[in-house]
Amino acid sequence: MAEADSHATADRVGVEPIGLVRVRSVVVAVFGDAHGHAEALDAVIGAAQASDAQQLWSLGDMIGRGPDFEHVVTRTRELCAVALMGNHDYGATGSAEPARFGEPGSSAVRSIELARDRLSGPHIEWMRSRKPAARRGEVQLWHGGPRNAVHEYVGASNAAACLAVQRAELGLVGHTHVAAAWRQTPRGAEAVKIRVGVPLDLAGGKWLLNPGAVGAPAPSRSGWWNALDLQAANGAYWLLLDLERRTATWQRAPYDPAPARLRARALGLDGLATRPVD
């Protein structure tokens, strides 16, 4: 399978490589948008390993804005049974120009340029073998959304249209950095309130879920790093998905944001971007 990686080993991470278990009975830890943040990603992986998760699925944007692109790509490559590409990841491989992510000289653009320079040849080759979408049984996954797997933002204005073209009973998306759940209705789509730690019953109908972001803040006027500082105590978002019981439980893994910010400052990545980046 295209997104399965031979580096994923059960004895190393406590999850089963894809293909050893039936997809319908798998318990999956789903996350996305690590954005080059080592402590946030490691907190989520640690929490997932301590849970019932048998596999890790990543929805992309391994790099971008954070200083730890090598760490995040390595961990994702080694541990994830599904690893999608996000729009920032395409910047690192050369498929998207750095200028797409901000003004020349901005911290957002510099993070892409640094990733291009410092990621090893094998890392880049592996990333180029990834895709922005995948399907596992009755689950479809996109970094962006069903209509544009790389760049689409799924929200209130287009959730109905996205669910209309989604073929599987369950869809998973990232990219917005906002945890969300949408259920298809006869009139379109309904936003369903999520509560951290409380399972959401997915029985019946078609659903589209966003686990939230690992190493990126929800939209904020405070700026990228200030917002991360404020949100880190509550924790990085991830989703525990039980495909047999058809439940989804949003989780948060607290982490210390200070070390990554210091590393970002040393690399010139701590400034505010001159325009918002996605």
Residue 241 has pLDDT above 60, yes or no: yes
- Chain center to CA of 234: 18
With contact defined as beta carbons under 8 Å apart, do 135 and 141 qualify?
A: yes
Residue 20 has pLDDT above 60, yes or no: no
User: Where is pLDDT greater, at 112 or 4?
Assistant: 112
Q: What is the pLDDT, as a whole number, of residue 7?
A: 35
Q: How confident is the model at residue 222 (pLDDT cuts 50, 70, 90)?
A: confident
Residue 272 has pLDDT above 90, yes or no: no
Q: Record the pTM.
A: 0.90
Alpha-carbon span 9 to 17, nearest angstrom: 6
Q: What is the pLDDT, as a whole number, of residue 149?
A: 98
With contact defined as beta carbons under 8 Å apart, do 159 and 181 qualify?
A: no
Q: What is the pLDDT, as a whole number, of residue 18?
A: 39
Average pLDDT on 148-168 reads 98
Q: How confident is the model at residue 22 (pLDDT cuts 50, 70, 90)?
A: low
Residue 15 has pLDDT above 90, yes or no: no
Residue 214 has pLDDT above 90, yes or no: yes
Q: What is the pLDDT, as a whole number, of residue 273?
A: 40
Residue 180 has pLDDT above 90, yes or no: yes
240: phi then psi, degrees, rounded to nearest 5: -100, 115
Q: What is the pLDDT, as a whole number, of residue 11?
A: 33
Q: How confident is the model at residue 277 (pLDDT cuts 50, 70, 90)?
A: very low
Lowest-confidence segment of 151-165, 243-257, 259-273 by average pLDDT = 259-273
Whose structure tokens read 């998905």? 241
